[in-house]
Amino acid sequence: MRVTCDIFCTVIDNFGDIGVTWRLARQLVAEHDQIVRLWIDDLQSFCRLCPEASNEDEVQMLQGVALHRWPRQWQQVYPADVVIEAFACQLPAAYIESMAQRSAPSLWLNLEYLSAEDWVSGCHGLPSPQSKGLYKYFFFPGFTPQTGGLLRESGLIEQRLSFQQDATARQQFLQRLGVSPQPDTHLISLFAYENPGIGSWLETLSVAGQTTHLLVPEGQIVADLQRWLGVGKLVAGDLHSRGALTVQIIEFLSQQDYDRLLWSCNLNAVRGEDSFVRAQWAGSPLLWQIYPQQENAHLQKLEAFLKLYSQGLSSAAKAALLAQWRAWNSGEDMRESWQALLDVLPELTEHAENWCRQQAAQINISAALVQFYKNWVQCAPKNTFPPSLPGN
Amino acid sequence: MKTAQEMKPNSVALIDGQPWLIQKAEYTKSGRNSAIVKMKLKNLLSGSSTETVYKFDDKMEPANLDRIEVTFSYSSDSVYVFMDGEYNQYELNADDLENVLPFIVDGMTDICNAVFFEGKVISVDLPTTIVRQIVYTEGSARGDTSGKVMKDARLSNGTVIKVADFCNADEWIEIDSRTGEYKSRAKAPV
């Protein structure tokens, strides 16, 4: 019997939540032969990530995944073997009711946001008693073996290396995007939220001895670029040069093409969660803009990752990395920090590849979920407290 | 019903009709992650322990508890004996006192609350503010008087907490027993 899985996702803002759940759904189908329904409340946003999707259809099959519009008026369905509420979204009450009525209980998981903080490993996989004798388990992605790992498709690193070793493939891909960088120019991708400090960074790039070609998928940061360039509305295809810096707007990319963009660049500025993880699989230096929170609640999370990621760097490279990432996330002037980063870029490039290999040696989220389910089934879950602790 | 965040250590929740003593409750809010409360629970009927995670606003059913005032008498091995005003003695194991154990010291005179579930003593609550003596701490190297610079200090039972840099050995300090955090300098109890 194939295992069935329902994944629920509400789109809060941006593309991180649906990006993660869409990847996970595809991977559970392609690599674990599961029957997956992905419930999304905002198909319009989804269509940008997956251009072959339709905003009109209530149900559509995409890459083996049954994509469902999450209706406001819930229509009863038989619950799946595995139920994933992504990022603590609220499941329909009637669906929870039917989970409780199943003869064999569903495994109910809350897939949480990614964090490198220490407390995550102590909470990963723990049960949470709910009403009607149901138990929900907290599933935390992370960077250590005590967590659920990161989303990574089978063969991803090999695909990336193959692409990077094939100069023609890279050139053809960039040409398809309308990008023709000069030889020896630094190619940097920029996917970011608004950033009040970005002007100082652009200024630095424009007066540098090294030329830079900045590739910017359409998104929130474009408004900041318009202001700095002193131009009107920027759209895909627009290209402006200021000194050593060329800024080019490109269209919003599918997940597969965004990967290739990351693989093509010398450095990637990324944001949130999904692009942040993809940039790590790209094996190139990255600059992470964490999702900003009130009262700077996000900075603790940033520091936790920096602490982990900077292990093994020389003191100079570590100092440069920390300074640049902190400046990037606090909107500070980046002239000094960027120069310091460039000085250690070769070391950061080698480090990024090592980090990628280190993380790729760990279990990925979909495999960890499947293993968690297998263990849970073997524990013969009974609706009594405490439930079994299946572990990874 | 109470939210998970409102359920404090030494309270009892009824889960599937079973009484579970909350021995530890750690609240965490980080970035976009859900605010959660990680709990260590002990079943008051079977003695078994488990850990759970709740979203901070998940509903929990508190059990009715009784409390009477007691003072600490003595400890022997890992058994701690408390006594009420009528000289009744109540024995608790160290496991039952996990949350307050770091602040139980010989000779303490705090008026505590013994906590009962269906007539059985299950734990002890300390007063919110307790006064303890520092037996050892390093001297103040920087001469900081703001109270913002902290350093380690050891109490008579070996517990180490963070105190203001200007605190010295033999001094008495106020501690928040719920959090274990230093509050201020204090006078010696009479």
User: For the segment A152-173, what is each residue's pLDDT rounded down to a tens digit?
Assistant: 999 999 999 999 999 999 999 9
Question: How far A312 CA lies from chain B's nearest CA (Å)?
Answer: 26
Nearest residue of A to residue B59 by CA position? A130
**Checking DSSP bridges between strand A186-190 and strand B36-43, what pairing results, if any?**
unpaired
Choose the closest CB to A297 out of B29, B34, B41: B29
Helix (H, G, I), strand (E, B) or coil at A63: coil
What is the rounded distance in angstroms from the CA atom of residue A133 to the CA atom of residue A102?
12
Model confidence at B29, pLDDT cuts 50, 70, 90, reads confident
Whether B72 contacts B104, CB under 8 Å: yes
Virtual torsion, Cα A363, A369, A375, A380, nearest 10 deg: 170
pLDDT at A380: 58
What is the rounded distance in angstroms from the CA atom of residue B34 to the CA atom of residue A95?
21
As a whole number, mean pLDDT of residues A113-138 equals 91
Choose the closest CB to B31 out of A110, A130, A301: A301
Choose the closest CB to A300 out of B30, B32, B55: B30
B121-160 burial code (b ≥16 CB/10 A, e <16): bbbbbbeeebbbbbeebeeeeeeeeeeeeebebebeeebe
On the question of pLDDT at B158 being above 70, the answer is yes
pLDDT at B99: 80
Q: Is B15 on the interface with A (CB under 8 A)?
A: yes
Nearest residue of B to residue A113 by CA position? B33
Question: How far B58 CA lies from chain A's nearest CA (Å)?
Answer: 8
pLDDT at B190: 76
- Residues of chain A contacting B52 with CB distance shorter than 8 Å: 126-129, 386
Residues facing residue B22 across a β-bridge? B41
pLDDT in tens, A94-107: 999 999 999 888 99
Q: Is A44 on the interface with B (CB under 8 A)?
A: no
On the question of pLDDT at B147 being above 70, the answer is no
pLDDT at A379: 78
Q: Is A303 on the interface with B (CB under 8 A)?
A: no
CB contact under 8 A, B33 and A291: no
In the DSSP assignment, the letter for residue B5 is G
pLDDT in tens, A300-331: 999 999 999 999 999 999 999 999 999 999 98
Q: Is B57 on the interface with A (CB under 8 A)?
A: no
Whether A328 contacts A334, CB under 8 Å: yes
On the question of pLDDT at B161 being above 80, the answer is yes
- Residues of chain B contacting A129 with CB distance shorter than 8 Å: 15-16, 52
Virtual torsion, Cα B85, B45, B4, A143, nearest 10 deg: 120
- Name the H helices within B35-181: none
Angle at which helices A315-330 and A335-343 cross, to 10°? 150
Computed over every residue of chain A, the mean pLDDT equals: 93
Could you tell me if residue A345 is left (phi over 0), alpha (psi between -120 and 50 degrees) or otherwise beta?
alpha
pLDDT at A277: 97
Model confidence at A88, pLDDT cuts 50, 70, 90, reads confident
Higher pLDDT, residue B139 or A282: A282
Q: Is B58 on the interface with A (CB under 8 A)?
A: yes
Computed over every residue of chain B, the mean pLDDT equals: 90
Amino acid, res. B135: V
The residue whose two tokens read 């002007």 is A199
pLDDT at A12: 76
Q: Is A391 on the interface with B (CB under 8 A)?
A: no
As a whole number, mean pLDDT of residues A211-215 equals 97
Angle at which helices A156-164 and A255-264 cross, to 10°? 50
**Of A17, A203, A238, A259, which is the active-site residue?**
A17
Choose the closest CB to B33 out of A115, A122, A384: A115
Whether A391 contacts A125, CB under 8 Å: yes
Range 20-39 of B in CB contact (< 8 A) with A? 20, 26, 28-34, 36, 38
pLDDT at B188: 87
Prediction pTM value: 0.84
Nearest residue of A to residue B37 by CA position? A123
- Residues of chain B contacting A11 with CB distance shorter than 8 Å: none
Nearest residue of A to residue B26 by CA position? A119
pLDDT in tens, A239-286: 999 999 999 999 999 999 999 999 999 999 999 999 999 999 999 999
Q: Is A14 on the interface with B (CB under 8 A)?
A: no
B6-12: long-range contacts, CB 8 A cutoff, minimum separation 24: B7/B37, B7/B39, B7/B60, B7/B62, B8/B178, B9/B99, B9/B178, B10/B99, B10/B100, B10/B115, B10/B122, B10/B123, B10/B124, B10/B125, B11/B62, B11/B63, B11/B65, B12/B44, B12/B62, B12/B63, B12/B65, B12/B117, B12/B122
Question: How far A382 CA lies from chain B's nearest CA (Å)?
Answer: 12
On the question of pLDDT at A381 being above 60, the answer is no
As a whole number, mean pLDDT of residues B157-171 equals 93
User: Between A and B, how many CB-CB pairs are < 8 A?
Assistant: 66
- For residue A118, indicate whether it is catalytic: no
- CA dihedral for B3, B6, B9, B11, sign (positive or negative): negative
Model confidence at B139, pLDDT cuts 50, 70, 90, reads confident
ipTM, two decimals: 0.77
Question: How far A51 CA lies from chain B's nearest CA (Å)?
Answer: 27
pLDDT at B144: 67
Phi/psi at A211 (nearest 5 deg)? -80, 145
Burial of A388 (0-12, 13-18, 19+ CB in 10 A): middle
Virtual torsion, Cα B75, B81, B83, B88, nearest 10 deg: -130
What is the rounded distance in angstroms from the CA atom of residue A230 to the CA atom of residue A247?
13
pLDDT in tens, B87-96: 999 999 998 8
Choose the closest CB to A113 out of B16, B26, B32: B32
Question: How far B83 CA lies from chain A's nearest CA (Å)?
Answer: 34
The vertex-A120 CA angle with A273 and A115, nearest 5°, equals 15
Nearest residue of A to residue B42 by CA position? A386
As a whole number, mean pLDDT of residues A206-234 equals 95
- Residues of chain A contacting B47 with CB distance shorter than 8 Å: none
Phi/psi at A226 (nearest 5 deg)? -55, -45
pLDDT at A390: 62
Query: Which H/E stretch holds residue B55?
Result: strand B49-55
- For residue A273, indicate whether it is catalytic: yes
The vertex-B42 CA angle with B36 and B48, nearest 5°, equals 125
What is the rounded distance in angstroms from the CA atom of residue B150 to the CA atom of residue B148?
6
As a whole number, mean pLDDT of residues A4-20 equals 89
Nearest residue of A to residue B29 by CA position? A297
